[in-house]
Structure 1
Amino acid sequence: MKSVILKVANIIGETGVYRFLCPGRVPVFMLHRVTDGSDGIPGDMTAERLRGYLRYLSSRGYSVLTMDQLWQFLNKGTSIPSKSVMFTIDDGFSDHHDVAAQVFDEFGFPLNFFVITGLLDEQLWPWDDQIAYAVNRTRISVTDLQLPFGGKYSVNLADIGLRRTIREIRNALKIVNQEHVYQWLSAELYSKLEVDFPDTIPREYRPMSWDDARSLKERGHGVYPHTCTHRILSTLALEEKQHEINEARKRVEQELAQCPDVFAYPTGRPSDYDRADIEEVKRAGFKMAFNTVPDYIRAGCSQYELPRFSLPENTADFLQIVNRFEALKEKVPRQPNRSRSFLPTR
């Protein structure tokens, strides 16, 4: 019954009635990994599904905004088409350039890349992905992990399985000081799970190159910093925050010969950054910053806490956001929490 109601609601949404009732709302979609089906890339968004979404937007006259167009809307009050959306993709993996960008190029749509500069420099790969890598390769069923700065997590794969274990270790690390999280991975996680620490970044986590990033800029896409190491800013001391923000900005400027003015907070929940982080982002010269709160951007919202929807895994949810039915639901009291598919995936 629920799926039938949603289908009918989306059909009505294509008439534009929800956009009329909820004007001035722009959905920004966030991707992480895009697979072509044969590359072994972890993640649920396939190139074909993404292509289907963009085909829908193209066939119905939607505008896919650039960062500058969004800035003009927020800061200058410039009008934008009611049928407007934006897309971002986080981290800087090779599939972002090799797969995702290729799909967007087919339609002439811009995609905005938030890159971990340490990943593109091949100095590291994200700590949360390393957890998945190690847990998926261990033959140990039960062990205790000593978490950074105290606390313990008891691994019991026989009881709760791989996916839940990965999620729980990630969540445990999100609330502790992450200053030495990468040292902890090699010294504690890999050691206790008896998994060899890779000498090089594994193929499935291989980054795009800075040459790739330059190519993206030349093709009309945006490339912006997402910190140096993807550590959660709210857990870090002031000097570490400043390094993550300023050095990432400097590296993008050095490589792309263009001063980046947009930033994305790692993991991006309201608990993952604080007022000090926002002030540092401002001082660094950024004019906009994105989190991962699932909501629409509208005039008057904070330019340093811009929300994003995770790109849904099914078309009905995608249409619900695009056609602003999700915005209309906000006006109806006692609505249930958003679908899990709208929530951040990391």
Structure 2
Amino acid sequence: MKEQVLKWANILGETGLYRLLCPGSVPVFMLHRVTEGDDGVPGGLTAEQLRSYLHYLSERRYKILSMDELWQSLDEGREIPSRSVLFTIDDGFYDHHDVAAKVFDEFGFPLNFFVITGLLDQQLWPWDDQVAFALKHSQVRRADIDLPSGAIFSVNLEAQSLGKTARELREALKAGPQGELYQWLRDEFFGKLGVEFPSSIPPDYRPMSWADARSLRERGHGVYPHTRSHRILSTLSPTEKREEIRGSLERAGEELGYAPQVFAYPTGRPADYDDQDMEELRQAGFSMAFNTVPAYVRRGLDPYQLPRFSLPENTADFLQIVNRFEAVKEKLRG
């Protein structure tokens, strides 16, 4: 029944009714990994599914915005077509350049990349992926892990799936201090699970290169910082916050030859950044920052707390966001 209701709601949405009822609502979509289906990329959206979404937008003459165009609307009051969408992708893995960007290039659409500068420098790979990697390769089925917070997390892969264990452990780590998180992973977590810490970034998690990032900009895409190490800013000391924000800005500027003015918070929940982080962004020269709250961007929002929708794997869910049915639901809930 629910699927039928959604089907007819989306058919009605293609008439433009919802956009008429909710003008000025721009969906910003967030991707993470894009897979060719047999390339070993963990999770993520398939390139074929992504291509089908972009084909839909192209056929219906949607405007795929650049960051500059979004900023001109928010700051200068320029009108943006009601059929408009913006796409972002977080972290900076190789498939972002090798797969996702190529799909966008097929349609001549811009994609905006938020890169972890330490990942592109091959100094680290994201801590949440390290958690998943260690659990996947664990030689130990049960272990009590001392978390950085001082709490104990019990791993029991005999009674609980790997996926659920990884999700619960990531949530526990998000809630605690992350200043020494990468050292803890190497010294405590991998050791307790009997997994040798890799001497180099595993193939599934390898990054794009800075040369790739420069190529993306030359092709009309946007490239912006996403901190140095992907640690959650609200868990860090003032000095560490500054290093994450200004350090990633300086590193991106060195490699890309310009000063980026857009930023994305790691994890991006409202609890993952604070007023001090937003003030640091302002002082560093950033004009916009994105979180991961699933809502539409509208004029009048705080430019340092702009929301994003995760790009759905289900086409019906994608259509209700694109055609602003979700905006109508927001209005009714409000």
Counterpart AA for 2:79: S
Deviation of 1:116 after TM superposition, in Å, equals 0.2
Which amino acid in the other structure matches residue 121 of structure 2?
D
2:137 partner letter: R
Deviations 1:35-62 (A, max 9, x none): 0112100113000000000000000010
2:84 — aligned with what?
84
Partner of 1:258: 258
SS at 1:11's partner residue? helix
Aligned pair count reads 334
Identity %: 66
Superposed structure 1 runs of 4+ greater than 4 Å apart = none
The aligned residue for residue 194 of structure 2 is: 194
- In the TM superposition, 1:147-186 aligns within 5 A as 147-186=147-186
Read off the aligned partner of 1:3 and give its amino acid letter.
E
What pairs with 1:1-346 in structure 2 (closer than 5 Å)?
A: 1-333=1-333
SS in 2 for 1:184: helix
CA distance in 2, matches of 1:309, 1:161: 27
Any conservation in 1 of the 2:19–2:323 contact (CA below 8 Å)? yes
CA RMSD of aligned residues (A): 0.8
Q: Which letter does structure 1 place at the counterpart of 2:312?
A: P
Structure 2 CA distance, aligned partners of 1:122 and 1:330?
41
Residues in 2 aligned to 1:314 and 1:333: alpha-carbon distance in whole angstroms: 23
Task: Answer whether contact 2:287 2:303 (CA < 8 A) is retained.
Answer: yes
Question: In structure 2, how many angstroms separate the alpha carbons of the residues matched to 1:318 and 1:178?
Answer: 34
Equivalent residue number for residue 342 of structure 1: none
Which digits, 9 at most, give the CA deviation of each residue in 1:230-276, with x for residues without a partner? 00000000000000000100011000101100000000000000010
Shift of 1:210: 0.2
Task: List runs of 5+ in structure 2 lacking aligned partners.
Answer: none
- In structure 2, the residue matched to 1:340 is none
Contact 2:145 2:155 in 1 (8 A): yes
**Contact 2:32–2:44 (CA<8 Å) still a contact in 1?**
no
CA distance in 2, matches of 1:166, 1:149: 17
**Corresponding letter in the other structure for 1:122:** Q
**Structure 1 portions without partners, runs of 5+:** 335-346
1:332: Cα distance to partner?
Answer: 2.2
AA partner of residue 214 (structure 1) = R
Q: 2-side partners of 1:143 and 1:255: how far apart?
A: 42
Shift of 1:149: 3.2
- 1:14-41, Cα deviation, whole Å (9 max, x unpaired): 0000000011000000000000112100
Q: Distance in 1 between matches of 2:149 and 2:275?
A: 23
Give the partner amino acid of 1:151.
A
Question: Helix, strand or coil for the counterpart of 1:305?
Answer: coil
Structure 1 residues 169-205: Cα deviation after superposition (integer angstroms, max 9, x where no partner): 1001101110000000011110000011000000000
Taking the aligned partners of 2:17 and 2:235, their CA distance within structure 1 comes to 44
CA offset digits 1:115-145 (Å, max 9, x no partner): 0000000000000000000001113111000
Report SS of the residue matched to 2:188.
helix
1:9 and 1:233 map into 2 onto residues whose CA distance is 39
Equivalent residue of 1:18, what SS?
helix
